[in-house]
Structure 1
């Protein structure tokens, strides 16, 4: 049961990362600094709505994960979202690649790995 909960936790992290990418795609580059226009654009963007739905599904599934795992085990897995989102941002959104970002993500993975040894 624990392995299923861990797998579902990772799936939730993937959904959350996909939500970030969808919302970024849906927002694009804002035309001006008008806050109202930015939120109007968000409310009318199908990709933003897709991102919100993915977040919602992830949150509902996360409740099941929390009922099966210690929060001290489950929550560090959320930090893997930084790594996944960085990779997706570079690959799908054309965001800049940086070795400093890779180093930071490497530290995150090492930290999560150390925490998982105690799981």
Structure 2
């Protein structure tokens, strides 16, 4: 049951990132100045993807609190790295981001590390 909760929290967190990315792709690039940030906030206030991403974050947070009440943080926390794997592949297939040898090697190392952690 703990592993299911951990993976649910990780998946919700990754979905939140990806949906927020989709929302920000619609909004566009934001410059680091007050007028641009205010414009971004106004656009985000009407963007369904931003709201969906925030909802996923809140749900992820609630699930993670449940995880921390049941599991050792040294066991549960490293599983968050699975989110990097999900984000990398969705980024590649959905957002057209690059996926080179270094990224694939990093993903392989993450997979090995999570597997070893799970086996412990």
TM score, norm. by length of structure 1: 0.88
Count of equivalent residues? 115
The 10-residue stretch of structure 1 (36-45 or 72-81) with the greater mean CA deviation from structure 2: 36-45
Q: Tell me how far 1:86 sits from its aligned partner.
A: 0.7
Deviations 1:61-112 (A, max 9, x none): 1111111111111001011100111111111222122221111111111112
Unpaired runs of 5+ residues, structure 1, are none
Unpaired runs of 5+ residues, structure 2, are none
Alignment of 1:1-119 (within 5 A): 4-28=1-25, 30=28, 33=31, 34-118=36-120
- Return closer, same or farther for 1:5/1:31 CA change in 2, 3 Å cut-off: closer
RMSD of aligned residue pairs (Cα, Å): 1.5
Secondary structure of the corresponding residue to residue 69 of structure 2 = helix
TM score, norm. by length of structure 2: 0.87
